[in-house]
Amino acid sequence: MSAATTASARSSKGIETEGRSPEELRELVSHWGAELELAPAEDIIEWAAATFGARFCVTSSMGDAVLAHLASTVVPGIDVVFLDTGYHFVETMGTRDAVASTLPVNLMTITPAQSVAEQDTTYGTDLFRTDPDLCCKLRKVQPLADALTAYDAWATGLRRAETHNRVIAPVIGWDAKKGKVKVSPLARWSDEQVQRYITDNGVLVNPLMYDGYPSIGCAPCTRRVAPGEDARSGRWAGTTKTECGIHS
C-alpha cells in the first residue's frame, strides 16, 4: 500500500481508536524508557507498534528514508507523516513521492492551515525573514500537533550524534507539549551506522544530501555547508535559531 494522502483527525487506517490518558502514556514511558534504551531500533519500533497499534506513526522530513524503511520492514503499511510546509526543495518533494511509491507505507502529507500566498497576505511577505519562529509555528509546529491528535505515539529520526543540543533525545520519551509518547529509534545511531543501513538496504536518500546539505529543511532557511562544518549549521544560518520548535 503506497499512497499520498492528506491527514485528518482520525487514523489513516479509518479506525477511530480510543487513546490512552496522559497518565497511562507517562507510565509507559517511565517503565519502558530504561528498558528499551539499549534495544535495537527494530525492537523499539516493534514495541511501539504492539503497544499503540494504529495510534503509532512515523514522521519523516525526507532527508533520507532510513526510519521509514526500517519501520516498514517491521510494520508494513505503517503511517508515515510528512509535513509539507510549502517551502520545501523540489528534491525533498521528489523524495517524498519516491518513498510513497516504493515503500510499503501509508504516506500522509499534512499541510498548514494557510498556503504560502495566504500567509503572505495575512502576515506580510516572507514571514520566514521577519518572524521565523512564527513561520515555523504556523507551518510546522501547529500542523504536526493537529495531525498527531490521531495518535498516542510518534517516531522521529532524531539522533544524538547530529548536534549537541539533541544530546538528550531519549529513545522513549514524554513529549509534554503534545501529550504524546515520542519514540526515537535511531537516537543512538552514529553517522556511520546510518550510512551502512543506507548502503546495505539501498535506502532512498534526498539527492541534496550529496550536494552539501547534510541537514535539509525549508529552502529559504537552509544553505549548503562546507565540508567539516556542523551538519545543522546550514539551518537558519546567520541567526540564533537552531530548531523549528517541533522537538522543543
Active-site amino acid positions = 244
Which C-beta is closer to ligand SF4: that of 133 or that of 230? 133
Alpha-carbon gap, residue 74 to 91, rounded angstroms: 27
Minimum distance from residue 151 beta carbon to ligand SF4 (Å): 22
CA distances from 138 to 10, 112, 113, 115, 203 (A): 21, 7, 8, 10, 31
Identified binder of ligand SF4 from the candidate list 85, 95, 109, 206, rule CB under 6 A? 85
Alpha-carbon gap, residue 235 to 30, rounded angstroms: 33
Q: Is 128 a binder of ligand SF4 (CB under 6 A)?
A: yes
Judged by CB under 6 A, the chain residues 196 through 235 that form the site for ligand SF4 are 217-218, 220-221
For residues 212 and 225, the answer to whether their CB atoms sit within 8 Å is: yes
C-alpha cell at 220: 529559504
Q: Is 170 a binder of ligand SF4 (CB under 6 A)?
A: no
Judged by CB under 6 A, the chain residues 134 through 163 that form the site for ligand SF4 are 135-136, 139-140
Which C-beta is closer to ligand SF4: that of 20 or that of 178? 178
C-alpha cell at 240: 540564533
Q: Is 244 a binder of ligand SF4 (CB under 6 A)?
A: yes
Minimum distance from residue 119 beta carbon to ligand SF4 (Å): 9
Which C-beta is closer to ligand SF4: that of 41 or that of 218? 218
Minimum distance from residue 117 beta carbon to ligand SF4 (Å): 14
Place of cell 507523516: 81
Contacting range for ligand SF4; rule: CB under 6 A; set: 2-10, 101-109, 132-140, 145-153: 132-140
H-only helix segments in 63-190: 66-74, 90-102, 116-123, 127-130, 132-136, 142-147
Q: Is 48 a binder of ligand SF4 (CB under 6 A)?
A: no
Alpha-carbon gap, residue 233 to 195, rounded angstroms: 20
For residues 105 and 217, the answer to whether their CB atoms sit within 8 Å is: no
Minimum distance from residue 9 beta carbon to ligand SF4 (Å): 22
Name the β-bridge partners of 110: 83
Contacting range for ligand SF4; rule: CB under 6 A; set: 52-60, 103-111, 133-141, 191-199: 133-141
Which C-beta is closer to ligand SF4: that of 22 or that of 86? 86
C-alpha cell at 27: 507510565
Using the CB atoms, write b or e for 132-148: b if 16+ within 10 Å: beebbbbbbbebbbebb
Minimum distance from residue 25 beta carbon to ligand SF4 (Å): 28
Identified binder of ligand SF4 from the candidate list 32, 87, 89, 197, rule CB under 6 A? 87
Residue numbers at the binding site for ligand SF4 (CB under 6 A): 85, 87, 128, 132, 135-136, 139-140, 217-218, 220-221, 244
